[in-house]
Chains A and B, each alone.
Chain A
Amino acid sequence: MSWERDKGNGSWVVKVGLASCGIAAGGQRVYDALKAGIIARGLKDNVEVRRTGCMGMCYSEVLVEVFPPLGRRVFYRNVTPEQIQRIIEEHIIGGNPVTEWIIPADEIDNLLSKQRRIVLRNCGIIDPESIDDCLASDGYKALDKVLHSMSPQVVIDEVTRSGLRGRGGAGFPTGIKWGFARKSPGSQKYVICNADEGDPGAFMDRSVLESDPHTVIEGMLIAGYAIGASEGYIYVRAEYPLAIHRLEIALDQARERGLIGESILDCDFDFNISIRQGAGAFVCGEETALMASIEGKRGMPNFRPPFPAQSGLWGKPTNINNVETLANVSWIILNGANAYNALGTEKSKGTKVFALAGKIAHGGLIEVPMGISLKEIVFDIGGGTSEGLDFKAVQMGGPSGGVIPASMADTPVDYDSITKTGAIMGSGGLIVMDESACMVDVAKFFLNFTQDESCGKCTFCRIGTLRMREVLDRITKGEGKEEDIEHLEELAQGVKKASLCGLGQTAPNPVLTTLRYFRDEYEAHIQEKICPAKKCEALITYEIIPEKCPGCGLCAKYCPVEAISGEKKKPHLIDPDRCIRCGLCMSVCRLGAISVH
Chain B
Amino acid sequence: MATKAKDREELSFTVIDAIAHKHNVQPGAVIPALQEIQDAYGYIPPAAIERIAENIGVPASEIYGIVTFYSQFRMEPAGENLIKVCHGTACHLNGAERIAQVIAQATGAEEGETSRDGKFTVERVACLGCCSLAPCTMINNEVHGRLTPESINKTVSQVQEVQELAPTK
Interface residues of A (CB under 8 A from B): 20-21, 23-25, 58-59, 61, 197-203, 206, 238-241, 276-277, 279-282, 293-299, 314, 355-359, 363-364, 395, 398, 429, 431, 433, 436-437, 445-446, 449, 452-453, 455, 558, 560, 582-584, 587-588
The residues of B that contact A583 with a CB separation of less than 8 Å are: 95, 97-98
Interface residues of B in 124-169 (CB under 8 A from A): 125-134, 136, 141-146, 148-150, 153
Bound CA–CA A429/B93 (angstroms): 14
In the complex, what's the smallest C-beta–C-beta distance from B119 to chain A, in angstroms?
19
Interface residues of B in 102-125 (CB under 8 A from A): 102, 104-105, 125
In the complex, what's the smallest C-beta–C-beta distance from A242 to chain B, in angstroms?
10
Quick one: CB contact mask for B71-115 with A, threshold 8 Å, 1 for yes? 111000000000000011110111101100110110000000000
Interface residues of B (CB under 8 A from A): 26-32, 34-35, 65-66, 69-73, 87-90, 92-95, 97-98, 101-102, 104-105, 125-134, 136, 141-146, 148-150, 153
Bound CA–CA A394/B30 (angstroms): 40
The residues of B that contact A359 with a CB separation of less than 8 Å are: 93-94
The answer to whether A357 touches B90, judged by C-beta atoms less than 8 angstroms apart, is yes
The residues of B that contact A436 with a CB separation of less than 8 Å are: 93
The answer to whether A296 touches B148, judged by C-beta atoms less than 8 angstroms apart, is no
The answer to whether B131 touches A203, judged by C-beta atoms less than 8 angstroms apart, is yes
The answer to whether A200 touches B133, judged by C-beta atoms less than 8 angstroms apart, is no
Bound CA–CA A202/B92 (angstroms): 14
The answer to whether A200 touches B127, judged by C-beta atoms less than 8 angstroms apart, is yes
The residues of A that contact B146 with a CB separation of less than 8 Å are: 25
The answer to whether A203 touches B29, judged by C-beta atoms less than 8 angstroms apart, is no
In the complex, what's the smallest C-beta–C-beta distance from A416 to chain B, in angstroms?
24
Chain A: CB-nearest residue to B92: A445
Q: A21-B130, A24-B133 are in contact. Are A280 and B70 (CB under 8 A)?
A: yes
Bound CA–CA A20/B132 (angstroms): 11
From the candidates A293, A356, A358, A560, name the one contacting B101 in the complex (CB within 8 A): A560
Q: A276-B31, A299-B70 are in contact. Are A21 and B126 (CB under 8 A)?
A: no
The answer to whether B129 touches A357, judged by C-beta atoms less than 8 angstroms apart, is no
**Secondary structure at chain A's binding surface: helix, strand, loop or mixed?**
mixed
Bound CA–CA A197/B143 (angstroms): 18
In the complex, what's the smallest C-beta–C-beta distance from A578 to chain B, in angstroms?
15
The answer to whether A239 touches B125, judged by C-beta atoms less than 8 angstroms apart, is yes
In the complex, what's the smallest C-beta–C-beta distance from B98 to chain A, in angstroms?
5
Q: A200-B126, A560-B105, A587-B95 are in contact. Are A355 and B131 (CB under 8 A)?
A: yes
The answer to whether A363 touches B35, judged by C-beta atoms less than 8 angstroms apart, is no
Among A24, A202, A294, A298, the most chain B Cβ lie within 10 Å of the Cβ of A24
In the assembled complex, 26 residue pairs joining A and B whose CB atoms fall closer than 8 Å, in A order, are A20-B129, A21-B132, A24-B136, A24-B143, A203-B129, A206-B129, A239-B127, A239-B128, A240-B129, A276-B31, A276-B32, A277-B31, A279-B31, A281-B70, A281-B71, A296-B28, A296-B31, A356-B132, A357-B131, A395-B89, A398-B89, A431-B89, A431-B93, A445-B92, A582-B97, A587-B95
Chain A: CB-nearest residue to B23: A296
Bound CA–CA A560/B153 (angstroms): 13
The answer to whether B66 touches A584, judged by C-beta atoms less than 8 angstroms apart, is no
Chain A: CB-nearest residue to B93: A358
Given contacts A24-B133, A357-B131, 12 further A-B contacts (CB under 8 A): A20-B143, A24-B143, A197-B129, A198-B126, A293-B31, A298-B66, A355-B131, A436-B93, A445-B89, A558-B150, A583-B95, A588-B149
Bound CA–CA A60/B87 (angstroms): 22
The answer to whether A296 touches B98, judged by C-beta atoms less than 8 angstroms apart, is no
Bound CA–CA A20/B136 (angstroms): 12
The answer to whether A25 touches B145, judged by C-beta atoms less than 8 angstroms apart, is yes
The residues of B that contact A240 with a CB separation of less than 8 Å are: 129
The residues of A that contact B89 with a CB separation of less than 8 Å are: 200-201, 357-358, 395, 398, 429, 431, 445-446
The answer to whether B28 touches A24, judged by C-beta atoms less than 8 angstroms apart, is no
